A and B are shown apart, each in its own frame.
Chain A
Amino acid sequence: MTCERLVRLLALYLTLCAAAAAGDVRDFKRKASILLKEEPKNPKCFAETKKDFVCFWEEDEERAGSVDQYSFTYAYQKENGSTCALQVLRSAGGKRLFVCRLDRVQMFVQLDIRVYREGIQIHNRSLLIELLFLLDPPKNVTVSSTGRQGQLNVSWVAPSLKYMDDSMIYEVFYARADSHVGQVEAIQACSEMILRGLEASTKYRVQVRVNLDGITYDGFWSAWSDPVFVETLPAELDPLIVSLTFIVSFILVLLCLTMLLSHHRFLIKKLWPAVPTPDSKFQDLFTVYGGDFKEWLGQTSGSLWLTSPFILSEECPSPLEVLSELHLCPPLSSPPLPPKASKALTLVRNEDRVLSKGLLDGESVDRVDALQTNGWRSPLHDHWLLDRLREFQQHPVPRSQCSLLESQDTYITLSGNKRTEEEHREDTLDEVLPPGVFFASRKPPKSESHSDLGSVQQSSGSGNLSSQSSFEYPNNVWTAKDPGYTYMAVADSGVSMDYSPMSRADDIGKVVIYANDYKNEIPPHRRPFLVRQCPVHDDG
């Protein structure tokens, strides 16, 4: 048991020694490579601590002899010489290293070295050991944040050499982790340094090496320590910049508000345009007469109506296409129509020229060819139509016989009024057409005479028609072949006429119903000459 234990201990010791030796050899070779670059003289010597000193030289494998052929002698000033035992190490590239480790180190005294190979001096050198230090790199290099933007605190453990602490100088290399180009900062007799001027949120690589200041001690720069990677703090907002930004923003907001306030009327007008109302077009209609259009019409002259802006507007009447003809009842006994009265007719007595002008501006001049020449409306014709209407109201023509027009004439009308017939009779002839309402009739292919169309606005609204420019032929005068068609001619002047029964709350209770629907409905009690249904495009 004892022998086995001893054997094990010996084996362990040898293993450790071998490992240590291997580590030592590895360290020596690393330092030797530095000296091979830095030291031109031979032998190349360096001291790692205050108590050791190593010298070596390199020879090619082919030219080198055995270690026995070499002798290394050294002598301190005023002392006798000594001989150093040489060791041989193989290095990379087919080289041999002959190494001498002095066992007695004295400093601040000249050391003379001589190397002989087979009695012939190959190297000779005088040196001072304290001027040839090659220290190990600083250990425990630590890089941490200082808490401030763009700074790092680097600290390390200096080589433990008494009497030499104040003679050590350090170089700190730092660079971005993804770059090989960096900066070097030097510091003396201190084992920490603060790096400044670094980029925020950037990973840096930091390394440190050590040397002696050269006054009392000197040597070579050690190898760089193992790199340490640290990322800097993210960028912080400079309080001054933040405050300036806030002030500038506040000033800009004030300026914007000032501009907005100074132009608020303009902006309100643009963003929320006022809904146009016809109040300005109809003086006193809603203010005095409470929306009673009939009464308003009665109180105002026709010229007032004619002078209303939308009548004078240059709005073009919408084209009206006659799709088919309605063969109506045989004509009543009536005076012959004026030869030039085959035009669309309104009950507007004045301003014929204005209306005709409006008509002529339309696209469907061809369709309104009957209106082009000679003025499309004449007072004589107006009176005739009114007479005919009165007569018809007093003596309604049976359905089979009713017709104010010849068979080939085309008539258009709109339905939708539910006002009572009595009211209609009273108001019909006095009413004027809603603005922009025009008739168009197709010129009959055979007949040279033209029937006039009369259109009287139905002032009562049924609610079926809520269009802007609806109208209705009043008095069941016309019978339709097919009651399912409704004509409507619209000239959109852009004026919205609200004829809904509930358009004005003040008017509830009053007999003011102007609404007419676009729906293709024909009130049963009214069967005007609903000829055919035309597609009406409301341009309003």
Chain B
Amino acid sequence: HRLFALLLLVLEWTRPGLPSPLRPICDLRVLNHFIQEARDAEVTMKSCREGCGLTEAVSVPQTTVNFDDWEKKNAMEQAQEVQTGLWLLQQALSLLRTSMTNSELNSHIDNVIRNLHSITAVLRSLNFQEYTPPASTVGPEGTWRVSTATELLQVHLNFLRGKVRLLLLDAQACQQEAS
């Protein structure tokens, strides 16, 4: 799965000429793989005692999912919520990476950051609009503030399992391909 995701990234970066529409990536096994790695990072972080903390509080997306509320949102709102959350997580994890001194955790964080980029590419393949980061560093609505690495990785995991997965499941491009 890791190789598959890497191959997707390479193809995306090395494609010649005009950008051609990406083939929709609807196989959730890719996301499952990312979720597994996120869980591994969280478990490792729980056992870390030193050299594995955030230097400052960071904004992270809310992971709460009420299915009734979620189904009331349209696809665009869902996509924007997910893409915003992915951006926030990338920012927070990058900050964590700079403050990490534990080598084992550093590898996990690197994987997680790469996976977030892959998920962004998957969303792009599903014709979701590119996310434009906000100008302000203050977290938009619907965000939380976390101050520990454990909380950060927990949010990261829950976000992938929840909203990201729901968005991919309901992606229109995947629905058309299935039919």
Instruction: Please list the residues of chain A having a beta carbon within 8 angstroms of any beta carbon in chain B.
Output: 50-51, 76-78, 104-110, 128, 130, 162-163, 166, 215-216
Q: What's the least CB distance linking B124 to chain A, in Å? A: 22
* Contact assessment for A108 and B162 in the assembled complex, using a CB-CB cutoff below 8 Å: yes
Total count of chain B residues near the partner, CB < 8 A:
21
Q: Contacts A108-B161, A108-B162, A163-B166 given; indicate if A215 touches B65 (C-beta within 8 A).
A: no
Q: What's the least CB distance linking B94 to chain A, in Å? A: 23
Most buried by B among A77, A108, A128, A130: A108
B128 in the interface, Cβ–Cβ < 8 Å?
no
Instruction: Please list the residues of chain B having a beta carbon within 8 angstroms of any beta carbon in chain A.
Output: 28, 32, 35-36, 62-68, 144, 154, 158-159, 161-163, 165-166, 169
Give the chain A neighbours of B66 by CB distance below 8 A: 104-107
* Contact assessment for A166 and B65 in the assembled complex, using a CB-CB cutoff below 8 Å: no
Q: Contacts A215-B35, A215-B36 given; indicate if A109 touches B166 (C-beta within 8 A).
A: no
Give the chain B neighbours of A51 by CB distance below 8 A: 67-68
* Contact assessment for A50 and B67 in the assembled complex, using a CB-CB cutoff below 8 Å: yes
* Contact assessment for B64 and A108 in the assembled complex, using a CB-CB cutoff below 8 Å: yes
B166 to A, closest residue via Cβ: A163
* Contact assessment for A163 and B169 in the assembled complex, using a CB-CB cutoff below 8 Å: yes
* Contact assessment for A107 and B162 in the assembled complex, using a CB-CB cutoff below 8 Å: yes
Q: Is the interface of B mostly helix, strand, loop or mixed?
A: helix
Give the chain B neighbours of A108 by CB distance below 8 A: 63-65, 158-159, 161-163
Q: Which of A50, A110, A216 contacts B161 (CB 8 A)?
A: A216
Q: Is the interface of A mostly helix, strand, loop or mixed?
A: loop
B36 to A, closest residue via Cβ: A215
* Contact assessment for A76 and B35 in the assembled complex, using a CB-CB cutoff below 8 Å: no
CA distance A237 to B176 in the complex (A): 48
* Contact assessment for B161 and A109 in the assembled complex, using a CB-CB cutoff below 8 Å: no
B170 to A, closest residue via Cβ: A163
CA distance A386 to B150 in the complex (A): 149
Give the chain B neighbours of A163 by CB distance below 8 A: 67, 165-166, 169
Report 19 cross-chain contacts, Cβ distance below 8 Å, ordered by A residue.
A76-B64, A104-B66, A106-B65, A107-B162, A108-B63, A108-B64, A108-B158, A108-B163, A109-B158, A110-B154, A128-B158, A130-B161, A130-B162, A162-B67, A163-B166, A215-B32, A215-B36, A216-B35, A216-B161
Q: What's the least CB distance linking B162 to chain A, in Å? A: 3
Q: What's the least CB distance linking A161 to chain B, in Å? A: 10
Known contacts A50-B67, A51-B67, A107-B162, then 13 further A-B pairs from the complex at CB < 8 Å, ordered by chain A residue: A51-B68, A78-B62, A106-B65, A106-B66, A108-B64, A108-B159, A108-B161, A108-B162, A109-B64, A128-B158, A163-B165, A163-B166, A216-B35
Q: Contacts A78-B144, A166-B28, A216-B161 given; indicate if A106 touches B64 (C-beta within 8 A).
A: yes
CA distance A166 to B63 in the complex (A): 21
Give the chain A neighbours of B169 by CB distance below 8 A: 163
Q: What's the least CB distance linking A386 to chain B, in Å? A: 129
Give the chain A neighbours of B32 by CB distance below 8 A: 215-216
A50 to B, closest residue via Cβ: B67
CA distance A150 to B53 in the complex (A): 60
B160 to A, closest residue via Cβ: A216
Q: What's the least CB distance linking A468 to chain B, in Å? A: 105
Q: What's the least CB distance linking A526 to chain B, in Å? A: 123
CA distance A108 to B165 in the complex (A): 11
Give the chain B neighbours of A105 by CB distance below 8 A: 66
* Contact assessment for B165 and A216 in the assembled complex, using a CB-CB cutoff below 8 Å: yes
Give the chain A neighbours of B28 by CB distance below 8 A: 166
Nearest first, the 5 A-B pairs at minimum CB distance are: A108-B162, A109-B64, A108-B158, A216-B161, A108-B63
Give the chain B neighbours of A106 by CB distance below 8 A: 64-66
Give the chain A neighbours of B65 by CB distance below 8 A: 106-109
Give the chain A neighbours of B154 by CB distance below 8 A: 110
Q: What's the least CB distance linking A425 to chain B, in Å? A: 128
